[in-house]
């Protein structure tokens, strides 16, 4: 269409001259500039160019295989589409700046310009409704591999950092108050663990979206003898979608991916927040490398944790995309409605942001260096040994509530004297509870307290070493949440 005027090719068959829409026979005029401004989608759905050509190639193969089109004509279309794929991969073909309404009309126009009238038959037995639903699934499937690689890379960076600091003790915090002694490595791995769940959620979403909408038509299927199972196989899907109305209106797969992205960004934001705290002068646990920090335009001394702050900020945008798509879907009648065009910008930006944020988070982790002494000194205040005193009494038969009270009185006494719990004399302990004995004091040492938590999920050094090895296996593509069907990795045979 021309900007703001009568669409070029209006009143002509689909696939008319340059810039024509895939509709128009029953119209005398075309959309005005106001509708074009909000309705044309090529500026963003041009990103689907390659997968649209791949899906079109699979469709053309099916048209020739079933006799819907003469084999010679289908082969001509296929050759044209394969040439387009080569040009896309070589950077010679792009939809940027083209006058077409959307990526589908761009592909059909370029194909027709290259191979002649046969290109106008590609859309036989297909609608843009089932076409775009297929394209978006294919695009997400391709992007998901990069996201999952980013999750594994970040987990590997955290495991490496944990391995380098295996002997470092620090306080574990609850309510942002010092709680109990912990291995710093255990805390670092606590940020790696959610990444395995993120990977699992993404893998689950990919399994559920492993159905092909092509052949569903606009909503009710098609009268042509299409081979939907064959098209699905060509594109690497497990099966065709089971209901044509649902196939063109379903965006559950996009919601699931956005939900995974939003939660994945929340995990990055929590890691970022810890990095911000650790690198403050108030904590002083860590320092950021120059490559992952910036200065101030007015304060020369500043070393700002910009990557961490940006990760926190970008999380809100991705969460907003999830909410936006849910709101779009909540009141839509079946089947396809133009509202669904709004799914793509949300999905594109969310996955772009998640992928970039994972790379930035991995760089942030690699740029952290910890001050072992500062971490150890933080255990000298806040009475992180108090729980050990309570547990000591419980082992000797004292009810935990009574033991808790006795340990609390010990903290109060130490506060009044301005000392640590290990500085209290054995007589002080016996005055607090008769069951306290001289063998309590060694148990109050932070390293002893850490070593005694020797169980699955505990912070004992041996347990943490095993967890480092497990996260490293995940980072190499093995272990929790790393499964992806060979079908998902194989992609489209039509592109080969």
Residues serving a catalytic function are: 175, 296
Using an 8 Å Cβ cutoff, are 42 and 106 in contact?
Answer: yes
The residues, any chain, with a CB within 8 Å of residue 11's CB and separated by 6 or more, are 24, 25, 27, 28
**Alpha-carbon distance 487 to 236, whole Å?**
5
**Alpha-carbon distance 153 to 192, whole Å?**
10
Q: List the beta bridge partners of residue 180.
A: 172
Number of Cβ within 10 Å of residue 366's Cβ equals: 16
How many residues are present in the chain? 496
**Alpha-carbon distance 460 to 59, whole Å?**
58
Closest CA to 78 of 88, 95, 65, 91: 65
Closest CA to 220 of 239, 243, 240, 241: 243
**Alpha-carbon distance 58 to 206, whole Å?**
20
DSSP secondary structure code for residue 209 in this structure: T
**Alpha-carbon distance 127 to 109, whole Å?**
16
Burial class of residue 400, CB neighbours in 10 A (0-12, 13-18, 19+)? exposed
- Structural Rg of the chain based on CA atoms: 30
DSSP secondary structure code for residue 90 in this structure: T
The SS3 of residue 173 is strand
Burial class of residue 373, CB neighbours in 10 A (0-12, 13-18, 19+)? exposed
**13 phi, psi to nearest 5 deg:** -60, 160
The SS3 of residue 454 is coil
Using an 8 Å Cβ cutoff, are 358 and 390 in contact?
Answer: no
**Alpha-carbon distance 132 to 424, whole Å?**
72
Q: List the beta bridge partners of residue 169.
A: 183
Q: Which two tokens stand for residue 305?
A: 């944790």
**239 phi, psi to nearest 5 deg:** -165, 170
Burial class of residue 182, CB neighbours in 10 A (0-12, 13-18, 19+)? buried
């Amino acid at each position: 269409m021309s900007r703001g005027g009568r669409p070029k090719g209006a009143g002509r068959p689909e696939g008319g001259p340059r810039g024509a829409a895939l509709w128009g026979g029953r119209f005398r005029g075309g959309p005005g500039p106001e509708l074009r401004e909000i309705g044309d989608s090529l500026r963003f759905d041009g990103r689907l160019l390659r997968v649209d050509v791949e899906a079109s190639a699979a469709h053309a193969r099916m048209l020739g295989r079933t006799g819907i089109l003469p084999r010679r004509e289908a082969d001509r279309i296929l050759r044209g589409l394969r040439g387009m794929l080569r040009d896309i991969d070589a950077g010679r073909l792009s939809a940027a700046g083209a006058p077409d309404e959307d990526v589908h009309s761009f592909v059909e126009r370029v194909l027709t310009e290259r191979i002649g009238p046969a290109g106008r038959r590609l859309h036989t037995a297909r609608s843009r409704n089932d076409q775009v639903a297929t394209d978006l699934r294919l695009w997400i499937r391709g992007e998901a591999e990069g996201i999952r690689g980013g999750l594994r890379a970040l987990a590997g960076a955290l495991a490496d950092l944990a391995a380098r600091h295996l002997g470092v003790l620090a306080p574990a915090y609850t309510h942002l108050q010092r709680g109990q002694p912990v291995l710093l490595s255990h805390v670092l791995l606590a940020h790696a663990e959610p990444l395995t769940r993120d990977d699992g959620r993404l893998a689950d979403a990919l399994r559920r979206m492993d159905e092909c909408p092509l052949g569903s038509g606009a909503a009710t299927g098609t009268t042509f003898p299409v081979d939907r199972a064959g098209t699905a196989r060509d594109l690497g899907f497990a099966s065709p979608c089971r209901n044509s109305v649902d196939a063109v209106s379903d965006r559950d797969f996009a919601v699931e991916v956005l939900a995974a992205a939003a939660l994945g960004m929340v995990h990055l934001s929590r890691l970022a927040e810890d990095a911000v705290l650790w690198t403050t002068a108030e904590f002083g646990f860590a320092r950021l490398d120059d490559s992952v920090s910036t200065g101030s335009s007015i304060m020369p001394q500043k070393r700002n944790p910009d990557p961490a702050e940006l990760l926190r900020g970008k999380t809100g945008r991705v969460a907003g995309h999830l909410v936006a798509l849910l709101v779009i879907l909540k009141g839509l009648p079946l089947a396809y409605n133009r509202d669904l065009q709004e799914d793509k910008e949300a999905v594109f930006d969310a996955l772009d942001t998640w992928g970039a944020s994972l790379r930035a988070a991995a760089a942030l982790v690699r740029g952290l260096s910890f001050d072992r002494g500062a971490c150890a000194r933080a255990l000298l205040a806040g009475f992180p040994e108090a729980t050990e005193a309570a547990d000591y009494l419980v082992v000797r038969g004292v009810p935990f509530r009574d033991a808790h009270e006795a340990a609390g009185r010990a903290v109060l006494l130490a506060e009044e004297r301005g000392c640590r719990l290990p500085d209290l004399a054995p007589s002080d302990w016996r005055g607090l509870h008769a069951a306290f004995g001289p063998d309590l004091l060694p148990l109050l040492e932070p390293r002893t307290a850490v070593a005694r938590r020797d169980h699955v999920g505990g912070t004992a050094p041996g347990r943490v070493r095993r967890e480092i090895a497990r996260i490293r296996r995940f980072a190499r593509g093995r272990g929790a949440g790393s499964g992806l069907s060979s079908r998902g990795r194989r992609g489209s045979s039509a592109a080969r």
